[in-house]
Homo-oligomer: A and B are copies of this chain.
Amino acid sequence: MNFKRPTPTLHDVALKAGVSTATVSRCVNFPDRVNTRTREKVMNAINDLDYSPNFGAKAMAARRTNTIGAIIPTMENAIFARGLQAFQEALRLHGYTMLVASTSYRPEIEEEQIRALVGRGADALLLIGHDRDPEIYKFLERQGVPALVVWAYDPTETRPSVGFNNRAAMTEMAAEVLRLGHRNIALISANTEQNDRARARLVGIQDAMADAGQDPADLQVIETAYGIENGAIAFEQIMTAGRRPTAVFCGNDVLAVGALRSARELGIAVPDDVSIIGFDDIELAQVADPPLTTVHVPHRAMGQRAALALIGLLQNGEPLHAIEVFAKPVFRGTLAAAKTAQ
């Protein structure tokens, strides 16, 4: 039953329209470079035959695919999902398609995926964060595939990026927490070794502590993987260990929501007994009870601006450069002043 008649080619269209393949090609790609009457004939032929150009041939001949690859840790994290959604919407408006791959936060998979997308002819790549083996950057350079880093803006990095200053944003939040009298502070963080964003947030808190005359080493840090459950477990560990903090920072909202749940289970009042602070401001944050104090990140804006930057480069050769967006603390119900007497 598979009478898959061969798809019509440029040649078929040319034959039907009585012109050369070159003219058909121009009709499709540069309509204003061909005579109106000819164009009409050709367009009719294209419609009649239901022609659509062969991607592979086009890619090969044009040495470009109009495809941009995005490699993220996981789509299950709303922040990436949202950013990608905006990224893709913007790409679409300019005729580009997005290729997505995810790494489950594993560097070796990321490397594999980068090679895979480059192999697939991605014209450019979107990557999360700066941290990765320098070999990979060299590889991309050799292959001539530009890469744009997002979710991080680090003034000390030379690589182009679209993002916010994780460190400064966290410092701003932490300064306020300290101002509220908290001196005994903990952080539930993602792995800081392979994740520059997590590291920057950690250091951001320490910056604020130093500014407030506290020893940064006093920050109690526990690292765990992404997930509500993990946040809950980490929180329990912290609260059942010796010195109970009065404020618990979390590397992201998902961990914070886990902490919140754990607090409820342990009968620890939030924010009366302990303040909980998240990061990202995803929907979860507003829905949590009490609503989560967190740092609002403009995920959609980042995705969109990243798309525009890449398109500018690919279409007009505008060089990439660092673009900073801003993340701001939002104060909601989970943060209160530290009790004066312990």
Q: Are B65 and A75 in contact (CB under 8 A)?
A: no
B-binding segment of A162-170, A188-196, A280-288: A280-288
Number of A positions contacting B (CB below 8 A): 57
B53 A60 Cβ-Cβ under 8 A: no
Closest B-chain residue to A100, C-beta based?
B100
Decide if B67 touches A89 in the complex (CB within 8 Å). no
Q: State which of A31-39, A76-84, A201-209 sits at the interface with chain B.
A: A76-84
Chain A 137-164 interface 0/1 with B at a Cβ cutoff of 8 Å (1 = within) = 0010011100000000000000000000
Q: Which of A2, A67, A81, A139 has the most CB of B within 10 A?
A: A81
| A182 is an interface residue with CB less than 8 A from chain B | no
Instruction: Give per-residue flags for A89-110: 1 if the beta carbon is below 8 A from chain B beta carbons, else 0.
Output: 1001000011111101000000
> Which chain B residues border A52 with CB–CB below 8 Å?
115, 118-119
Cβ–Cβ contact A102 & B121, under 8 A: no
Q: Is A54 in contact with chain B by the CB < 8 A criterion?
A: yes
- A223-279 contacts to B, CB under 8 A, are 228, 254, 257, 260-261
The contact of A119 among B53, B101, B115, B260, by CB within 8 Å, is B53
A211 within 8 A of B: no
A-B contact pairs, 16 of them (CB 8 A): A7-B144, A54-B60, A54-B121, A56-B65, A56-B121, A75-B85, A76-B81, A76-B85, A81-B81, A89-B102, A97-B99, A97-B101, A99-B99, A228-B286, A261-B286, A287-B287
User: CB-CB < 8 A to A54: which residues of B?
Assistant: 60, 121
Q: Mark A51-68, 1 if CB is under 8 A from B, else 0.
A: 011111111110001010
**Does chain B have a CB within 8 A of A318?**
no
Q: Is A171 an interface residue (CB 8 A)?
A: no
Q: Is the Cβ of B92 less than 8 Å from the Cβ of A84? A: no
Other A-B pairs, 19, CB within 8 Å; known A76-B82, A289-B289: A2-B144, A54-B121, A55-B56, A55-B119, A56-B60, A56-B61, A57-B60, A75-B81, A75-B88, A81-B81, A85-B102, A89-B102, A97-B120, A98-B100, A99-B99, A228-B283, A261-B286, A261-B287, A287-B288
With contact pairs A75-B85, A102-B85 given, residues A55 and B228 touching in the complex (Cβ less than 8 Å): no
Cβ of A289: which chain B residues have Cβ within 8 Å of it? 288-289
What is the CA–CA distance of A78 and B287 in the complex, to the nearest angstrom? 15
Q: Which residues of B contact A88 (CB under 8 A)?
A: 75, 100-102
Asked if A116 is at the interface (CB within 8 A of a chain B CB), the reply is yes
Chain B's closest residue to A104 (CB) is B89
Q: How far is the CB of A77 from chain B (nearest CB, A)?
A: 8
**Contacts A100-B98, A283-B228 given; does A75 touch B67 at CB 8 Å:** no
Given contacts A74-B85, A78-B76, contact A56 B53 (CB under 8 A): no
- Which of these, B56, B61, B97, B117, contacts A58 with CB under 8 Å? B56
Tell me the bound Cα distance from A170 to B99 in angstroms: 35
Cβ–Cβ < 8 Å partners of A115 in chain B: 52
Q: Is A50 an interface residue (CB 8 A)?
A: yes
